[in-house]
Amino acid sequence: MKRPSQVLSGLPEWDRCAVMGVVNVTPDSFSDGGRWLDPGRAVDRGLLLAEQGADIVDVGGESTRPGATRVSEEEELRRVLPVVRSLTDKGVLVSIDTMRARVAEAAVESGARIINDVSGGRADAGMIGAAARSGVPFVVMHWRGQSARMDELAAYEDVAAEVIREVARQMDTVVAAGVDPSQVIVDPGLGFAKRRQDDWALLASLDAWRVLGRPLLVAASRKRFLGELLADPRTGEARPARERDAATAAASVLAAAQGAWAVRVHEVRDTADAVRVEAAIRTNRA
């Protein structure tokens, strides 16, 4: 199956699904919280991910795990800017994972080339304008509300259709406010106001996102639905986050096979190999 056009201005055009490696400069992210809070360690981590095959390194300074409380803007800026600056100086293609306009703007000034806003411009009234002015690609992820209450918002009749419809509506909003439509990236927001069965239904129907005609980013990495699938059969306890990387690579490569433009992962090496295998099989298909 041929992949839809994946051209975004200012970014390379990869001939396979791209890999976005994650550096969370936070004390409390669910899967890697506290490991890269020190800026030097965060930069080293980003460089290692790039060396292991990350095409993009996504830098974030605020945890969005279910139930998380927000950090101040000053603290978020303090965490991410030195890391963004240092990685871009070293030639790494950086995206900034933030819901705040000021953080996005400052990160782009420091060299970030994608704004990855898990709220798709809904959390901060200034974000869409900031994205429009920056001109860099902007991620419109499916989002129904802040992490502190997102579990209550997970109610769907037909999750695949509703999530696409809500993202299409938000795409219209961001384009009406000045974002270049050819710079929009879409994302189903796995785990954000989703129950476990919703995440699986979304992962099973990524083909349907072609109707939007935009590059699709998929972030299954280490998420709760994988931990629950792999729960200990004796105790019923979910598999710990750091032991979900093989499952992450599997989910990511199956997203690539459904046409994903990029997959966002905490551990890069296996997924980087897997997307290359997917591309080789696709290009050898009659």
- Selection from 115, 105, 167, 161 nearest residue 142 by Cα: 167
Pairing of strands 114-117, 94-97: parallel
Out of 6, 29, 88, 258, the only residue in the binding site for ligand PMM (CB under 6 A) is 29
Out of 19, 77, 190, 206, the only residue in the binding site for ligand PMM (CB under 6 A) is 190
Least distance (Å) from ligand PMM to the CB of residue 234? 27
SS3 call for 137? coil
| Cβ–Cβ < 8 Å for 103, 83 | no
Catalytic residue among 85, 144, 214, 223: 223
SS3 call for 81? helix
Kindly list the distances between the CA atom of residue 55 and the CA atoms of 51, 93, 128, 269, in Å, as whole numbers in the listed order. 9, 7, 25, 11
Site string for ligand PMM, 50-79 (x = CB under 6 A): -------------xxx--------------
Least distance (Å) from ligand PMM to the CB of residue 214? 13
Query: Cα separation of 284 and 186, whole Å?
Result: 28
Out of 11, 17, 18, 22, the only residue in the binding site for ligand PMM (CB under 6 A) is 22
Q: Is 223 a catalytic residue?
A: yes
Q: Is 194 a catalytic residue?
A: no
- Selection from 75, 74, 43 nearest residue 57 by Cα: 43
| Minimum CB distance to ligand PMM smaller for 11 or for 219 | 219
Out of 189, 215, 227, 259, the only residue in the binding site for ligand PMM (CB under 6 A) is 189
Q: Does 139 bind ligand PMM (CB under 6 A)?
A: yes
Q: Does 159 bind ligand PMM (CB under 6 A)?
A: no
Per-residue burial over 77-116, b if 16 or more Cβ lie within 10 Å, else e, is bebbbbbbbbbbeeebbbbbbbbbbbbbbbbbebbbbbbb
**Active-site positions?**
223, 264
Interface residues toward ligand PMM, by CB under 6 A: 22, 24, 29-31, 63-65, 97, 116, 118, 139, 141, 187, 189-190, 217, 219, 264
